[in-house]
Amino acid sequence: MHKTPTRLADGRELIYFDARPTPRDAVDKRPLEPTSTASEARFDPLLREWVVVASHRQGRTYLPPADQCPLCPTAGDRLTEVPDADYEVVVFENRFPSLTGPPGPPAGDALFTRMPGAGRCEVVVFTSRHDQSFADLTEDRAALVLEAWTDRTAELSRLPGVEQVFCFENRGKEIGVTLGHPHGQIYAYPFATPRTERMLAAQAAYGAGNLFDDLLAAELAAGARIVLDTEHWVAFVPHAAHWPYEAHLYPRHRTPDLTGLDDASRAAFPGVYLELLRRFDRVFGPGEPPTPYIAAWHQAPVRAPGREDFALHLELFTIRRSPGKLKFLAGSESGMDVFINDVPPEQAAARLREVATA
């Protein structure tokens, strides 16, 4: 992997990731003013979790036509976020970040605690091709994306005040994407996220052994919910899946974050992940539009006690429950955090096995 960092016209950092050294000297010619954004984190004392308030994001770009896409390469007079005429993978600071700026101490009292919404938000563009998706990438390109995720996890983890790094992809209008070009995002949070803290607490309370290891071993032994079982990675639909079609992808050798993946797991990831994505696109049958999904890497917080006991894994799920129908987070899910799943996990796993590549 070869990295080439540069700066956009408003001062934001952009990094080209190439499989081999490639000249990258194009200059952003847009007349942009320096970015000026701020957000705030407020603590909910009842749920004991942080909420980020970022009002400046209301004006962000929303589903522009393909010929005005800001993630495509710059072409002639059409100037975009990527100054070069072509690229492999690029990462740049989000123009409308949810988290931004230097850290600061919490202020206020026990009921009204707040602090700066510090951190960093980056955009990861997987390909210069506007009409592709991650599932269309070659294994070499998917490997380069993995290298970019790993590099950014390492770099962002070293920033002052950053407590957790989250790499993810939203795909599809139904999920709420604002740009159709294949891309993902990375959030560097100033706190450990509630979901991760609950998993760490569950591991701490588990007692002897490791909860993640035992859960993976139990799913392998049960077999009914296994989707992919390879030498280095295992994908399964969890016993208590929240979503109609949901798969968790674990490396067989536990590591707390992407930087700890061994060479064999890293080399095997592209083939396994691309196969899983392609199955998701086939799960609702021929003629159906591409499956909307969220792909979320779960990594240990940077400095949390017990982080070495955490298991890196990717959760992939769709809000589509059947052809033409979506799973909405209505009263029970949104009001009480109790999910009602329309598809039995064993049935979902069987379907994901059924649509394997011939």
**313 counts as catalytic:** no
Element containing residue 28 per DSSP (H, E): none
Q: Which of 56, 183, 298, 313 is catalytic?
A: 183
State the Cα–Cα distance between residues 247 and 224, nearest whole angstrom. Answer: 13
Which of 299, 22, 38 has the alpha carbon at shortest distance from 144?
A: 22
State the Cα–Cα distance between residues 270 and 183, nearest whole angstrom. Answer: 16
Beta carbons of 247 and 253 less than 8 angstroms apart = no
Which residues, at least 6 apart from 249, have a Cβ–Cβ distance to it below 8 Å? 228, 233, 234, 235, 272, 273, 276, 313, 314, 315, 316
End-to-end CA gap in the chain: 32
Is 72 labelled a binding residue? yes
- Both structure tokens of 233: 């990675």
Beta carbons of 227 and 250 less than 8 angstroms apart = no
* DSSP string for residues in 271-295: HHHHHHHHHHHHTT-TTPPPPPEEE
Is 167 labelled a binding residue? no
Is 121 labelled a binding residue? no
State the Cα–Cα distance between residues 134 and 245, nearest whole angstrom. Answer: 18
Is 130 labelled a binding residue? yes
Calculate the alpha carbon distances from 248 to 18, 128, 222, 256, 330 in Å: 29, 28, 15, 15, 24
Beta carbons of 99 and 230 less than 8 angstroms apart = no
Helices (H), the chain: 139-157, 194-206, 211-222, 263-282, 336, 345-354
- Both structure tokens of 143: 């490997």
Q: Which amino acid is at 125?
A: V
State the Cα–Cα distance between residues 354 and 356, nearest whole angstrom. Answer: 6
Q: Give catalytic residue positions.
A: 183
Binding-site residue set for Zn(2+): 69, 72, 130, 181
Q: Point out the annotated binding site.
A: 69, 72, 130, 181
